[in-house]
Every structure is written in C-alpha cells, then in structure tokens.
Amino acid sequence: MQNVGQWVLLRRFMSTIPAVKKELRGWANLAGHLPDPLRSQALSSIERKAFHCVGGSVYAHYPGVDIETMIRLIVAFQTISDYLDNLCDRLDVDNPDAFRLLHTSIVHALTPGAAHHDYYRLYPYSEDTYLGHLVQTCQDLLSQIPHYGRCQPFALRLAKNYCELQVRKHVTQGEALLREWAETIDSDLAWNEWAAACGSTLGIFLLFALGYSPSDQEDEQILEVYFPWIQGLHILLDYLIDLAEDRESGDLNFVTFYPTEETRERSLCQFARMSKDLTSGLPIPAFHRTVVDGLIALYGSDPKVRAQNQQSIIQRMASDRRNLLWLNLCKGLRRLGVL
C-alpha cells in the first residue's frame, strides 16, 4: 500500500509541474520591469532555481490541502528566498545589517497582516513593485489556510533560523560567525550540519500544509524529523553537487568542512538513513518517505554528480531498491527535459 501511495503521489506531482512553471513565468514577467541589477538577479534566481519551486510543490499534494492555493504560496515564498539569496551572494555587497533587513520580508511573508517595511533601506539598490508584491501574496494566501495560526509559531521558528543563516553566511567572516552561532545551540550535530539544516524551506512548506488540519497532534513530532534530519539531508545534497562550482567561485560550502571524504560520506549516509527511518513513525509515512526518496533522486540525478564522480555516495545514500528506482526515474525525466 505504501508503494502504491508513492506512485499515486508521483503522478499527481508530475501533473501540476506546468502550474508551477506558469506561476514562475508570472513572477518573471514582473521581475522584468525592475531596474538593474535587481532585474538580472530576480530573473536569474527564477531561471536557475526553478527546481526549488518544482520540488517544493510536492507539499501541494499533502492530504487535505487546496492544491491551487498551495502551489501559488510555495512558489511565492520560495521565490522570495531565492531572490534574496542572489542579492546577498551575487552582488558586491557585504553588509549584514542590509541582509538582515532584506530578510525581514520572509518573516513578514509568514505573518498575515504585518505591515511592510522598506526592505531595501540599507541596501544599495531598491525597487517598489517586486519584493513587496511577493510578501503580500504570501500573506493573502496564508490568510486562506484555515488553521495556519496554529502552525505559524513553528514556521517563524524555522524562518528565523533560515534568515540568521543567510545573514551570517554571506558576509566576509561567514564561517567564523556560523561557528559562533552553532556553539550557542544545544545539538549533537557538527556546526556545518546544523547550519545546513537551517537552510531548507521544506519544513515551512509542510507547516503550510498542516494548517489545513484542525489537529495539532502531529506538528511537533513531524517538525523534529524535518529539523534537523530531512532539512539537513536536503541542503547537504545541494552543497554536495555544487562542490566544484563553489570551489571555483570561492563560495562557502558546508560539505567542504568535513575533515575527510570518508567522514563526509558517513555523515551524508547518516542523514539519509535517519530521514528514511524516522518517516515510518510519522502520520502519512508514505508521503514523507516519498519526499526523502525524491530528494536523493532529484539531486542524485543531476549531471553534476557524474561530472564530479559522486555516483558512489549517491548510490549508498539511495541504499534500497525503491530509492534506486526513483533515482533512475529522475535521470529519465532529466533526459526528457521535464526536470
């Protein structure tokens, strides 16, 4: 029954990818009217990171949610995240106060009714149509989710960790600031693993979906599995396949801080194993296991894996027949241009 559930979810997910891409085209049209360099960064974030929205849209298929609302919400929220990442990373700006103010837009996006600020006040470039519209869209859509108020404190907790990560990561002393931050956290994870877990938006998307249910019995339990395990798996995979690019550009990459390749492989396999094992104790385990299998398959099928000779670690993370099947499926979808 669990396997049947996974394939049904896959068919539904595939059927809504065009709707995700349509939403992204709408935001790209609006971004096209921005002044440069904001226009180029907004368009680049949509073009190069569209798969973040495509992958995240699986939560539009969580049982009981309104699919159209969730797709629009996930795309708008992830577009804010990807746009701000570019503003902090791709332009010649190194001002933590400016980055922190920019990221208050994420907190406001999760807070229906919150007044907008001038998010660009400390940043050298500004516009008044794009970021504010994204924030307002998230607020409007969240107000339509009947029990979001119950989930909002959890969403804000994850978002504040995400924003703190982004601020510290993108400044000159980023590594030292991240190490310092991690030392204040009671966690058995290494500092780079803690930071990686903070960098995913998957838990926030799940909380959007949980807001359609009147029950709060599963919220804390699910969140403990997503943070740090599933979110950490997500971002460590993302950094793994970007190793060569980040080395060439000099960008900070959390996977490089493992002392040896053996340590790195052992840690990534642990995140994969824990994520898989813990989903069995969650409500609707087939859904969450599909997310984990999908993460390994999506990143593991990227052409950068073969280019960097990373196939063996991906195979170990996939580990079982079902996950290997997903991996081969994603490779086929990439060849067809679907992913």
State CA 310 to chain mean position distance. 22
pLDDT over 80 (residue 338): no
Whole-angstrom CA distances from 223 to 173, 191, 264, 283 are 31, 20, 25, 12
CA distances from 147 to 83, 209, 213, 223 (A): 28, 10, 6, 17
Q: What is the pLDDT of residues 108-131, one digit of tens each?
A: 999 999 999 999 999 999 999 999
Whether the Cβ atoms of residue 203 and residue 158 lie closer than 8 Å to each other: yes
Q: What is the DSSP string of 96-139?
A: HHHHHHHHHHHHHHTSTTPPP--TTTTSS---SSSHHHHHHHHH
Q: Are 291 and 58 in contact (CB under 8 A)?
A: yes
- Pair 122, 97: CB distance under 8 Å: yes
What's residue 1's pLDDT? 36
pLDDT of residue 63: 93
Range 238-247 average pLDDT: 94
pLDDT surpassing 60 at residue 84: yes
Q: Give pLDDT tens digits for 260-297.
A: 999 999 999 999 999 999 999 888 999 999 999 999 99
pLDDT, mean of residues 25-34: 98
How far is Cα 98 from Cα 300, in angstroms, rounded to an integer? 35
Choose between 335 and 136: higher pLDDT.
136
What whole-number distance in Å separates Cα of residue 114 and Cα of residue 139?
8
142-154, pLDDT tens digit by residue?
999 999 999 999 9
- At 3 the pLDDT is 47
Q: How far apart are CA 297 and CA 325, in angstroms?
A: 9
pLDDT of residue 2: 46
In this prediction the pTM is: 0.94
| Count of Cβ atoms closer than 10 Å to residue 198 Cβ | 27
Residue 62: name the closest of 253, 234, 273, 290 by CA.
290
Q: Which residue has the higher pLDDT, 96 or 250?
A: 96
173-191: pLDDT as tens digits: 999 999 999 999 988 899 9
Quick one: pLDDT at residue 51? 87
Q: Where are the domains of the chain?
A: 2-335
Tell me which CATH code domain 2-335 carries. Answer: 1.10.600
Tens digits of residue pLDDT in 298-308: 999 999 999 99
Question: Cα separations (Å) of 191 from 156, 184, 249, 252, 261?
Answer: 22, 10, 22, 13, 17
Mean pLDDT of the chain: 93
What pLDDT is recorded for position 57? 95
Residue 329 has a pLDDT of: 84
C-alpha to C-alpha distance for 240 and 255, rounded to whole angstroms: 6
CB atoms within 10 A of CB 74: 28
Over pLDDT 90: what percentage of the chain? 79
Q: Could you give the CA distance from residue 66 to residue 60 in angstroms, rounded to a whole number?
A: 7
* Whether residue 256 has pLDDT greater than 80: yes
Q: Which of 310, 332, 184 is nearest to 239 (CA)?
A: 310
The per-residue pLDDT for 324 is 84
The predicted pLDDT at position 292 comes to 95
